[in-house]
Structure 1
Amino acid sequence: MGLHRTRARGVVRGAVRGVARGRGGTQPGTGAGADAEGDAGVDAGTDAGADAGAAADVVGDRTWAGEVRAAVFCALTLFVLVLIVDGANTTLTWPRAALWAGLSAVLYVVLHPARVTAGPGWLAVRRLLRTRRVCTGLLTAVRLDGGVAARLVLRDSLGNRVELDPKVLTDNPLLLHRLDRGARDAQARGLLRTGVTVLHRFTDRADAEAARAVFEASGLTPGLTGESARDS
């Protein structure tokens, strides 16, 4: 009788241990499951960090959003004004309203500014229908076309070509810095041989404006420092 009881207790203990092991293997966050979840979390965090770093490396035109709003305002103003004039003359009809809407849309397309962005080794100009990009480290020519609206033309060794308003660079020192860094790399490789002085003029002008802003913020006058500033 004692032997049977001992065997029964052994069987019960074995069953309890088996159940406990089964529960431990299926619990989330333990064993191989925890390792897999941890690896997945690390991979996801790494990918997110890489994406955030890549986005942080891209700089853009800080005045672009304001110019877009101005273009929308001009187009809407034209549309409203012609509707008011037509309505006052009792000549407003659906076909005429569609015509004014089309003209306003054309005005917006004309006024819509190109968006200039730059990252490590590249500069892109995006318009409504197309985006062009050059590799700044492979630039072969930089040319400033004068005229009614000055345009800065960039070409690289891959045959890519972009045009942009030079004012975008003067208004955005970070964009100019990215372009200048890539141009220096291209010049060191012996690729950029024409247009170096053009970029130097832009960088010198940007440095002068930055220095003037520092003097104005500190209450000094450019050219007056030290004893001269105190005497004034």
Structure 2
Amino acid sequence: MGCSDNARRSSAEAGADTSGDAAHDLRWARDVKDSVRCAGALLVLLLLIDWASGRLALWRGVLWLALALLLFLVLYPARVSAGDGWLVSRRLLRERRVRTELLVSVRRLDGVSQRLLLRDALGGRVEIDPEVLVRNPWLWYRLDEGARKSAADGLLLCGETALRVYLPTRRP
């Protein structure tokens, strides 16, 4: 086993190492770039419309820049990571963490976008997009490990069914 073995690992294996390292959302960087592109496209479009109408002024440009920045902040994705017994969701200004082996509740929240709400016995609360779990089997695996332990210990009393809707029956 040498350095060439590490270079041959697939991108799915790069998301998590089975020796205990954390698994990360592999598509997060692309989602951030998409957020920047959307905000940039809005800014360029608004500036072009103002320029074409002859009403472009510094204060209007600053207003359009603030609007594009607000769109970026709304679209900025949470970075989800999971390890041995924990799951973290990081946003721009805050981080939420739960201990997956101490889960007491898992709920599916319906609305404009579906969310999965995880609560642990220590008061930790994380809300994540289930699509992140679908796209990242190693995150699934880490969450499933902790949830199974929590259910076996009798802690996960509410929502084991909701969790099984998103988690696969086979492991990566």
Query: TM class by shorter-chain length?
Result: 0.7 to 0.9
The structural deviation recorded for 1:189 is: 1.5
| Cα distance, 1:99–1:111 mapped onto 2, change above 3 Å | same
TM-score by length of 1: 0.63
Q: Which residue of 2 is the match for residue 185 of structure 1?
A: 149
Aligned partners of 1:207 and 1:190: how far apart in 2? 23
Q: Which amino acid aligns with 1:122?
A: W
Contact 2:20/2:83 (<8 A) preserved: no
Q: What CA RMSD, in Å, does the superposition of the two structures yield over aligned residues?
A: 1.9
Unaligned 5+ runs, structure 2: 1-16
Aligned partners of 2:20 and 2:101: how far apart in 1? 20
Please say if 1:127 is aligned against 2:91: yes
The structural deviation recorded for 1:199 is: 2.0
Q: Which amino acid aligns with 1:129?
A: L
Query: Any idea what SS the aligned residue of 1:57 has?
Result: coil
Please say if 1:195 is aligned against 2:152: no
Q: Which residue of 2 is the match for residue 109 of structure 1?
A: 73
Deviations 1:91-121 (Å, cap 9, x if unpaired)?
1111011000000000000111111001111
The structural deviation recorded for 1:56 is: 6.7
TM-score by length of 2: 0.85
Q: Which amino acid aligns with 2:148?
A: R
Aligned partners of 2:110 and 2:48: how far apart in 1? 40
More strand by share: 2
Higher relative contact order, chain-length normalized (CA < 8 Å, sep 6+): 2
Aligned partners of 1:56 and 1:87: how far apart in 2? 55
Q: Which residue of 2 is the match for residue 153 of structure 1?
A: 117
Q: Which amino acid aligns with 1:98?
A: V
| Percent of matched pairs sharing the same residue | 49
The structural deviation recorded for 1:203 is: 2.4
Aligned partners of 1:111 and 1:104: how far apart in 2? 11
Which of 80, 104, 121 is matched with 1:140 structurally? 104
Contact 2:85/2:146 (<8 A) preserved: yes
More helix by share: 1
Q: Which residue of 1 is the match for residue 139 of structure 2?
A: 175
Please say if 1:99 is aligned against 2:57: no
From the CA coordinates, give the structure whose radius of gyration is larger.
1
Q: Which residue of 1 is the match for residue 52 of structure 2?
A: 88
Q: Which amino acid aligns with 2:96?
A: R
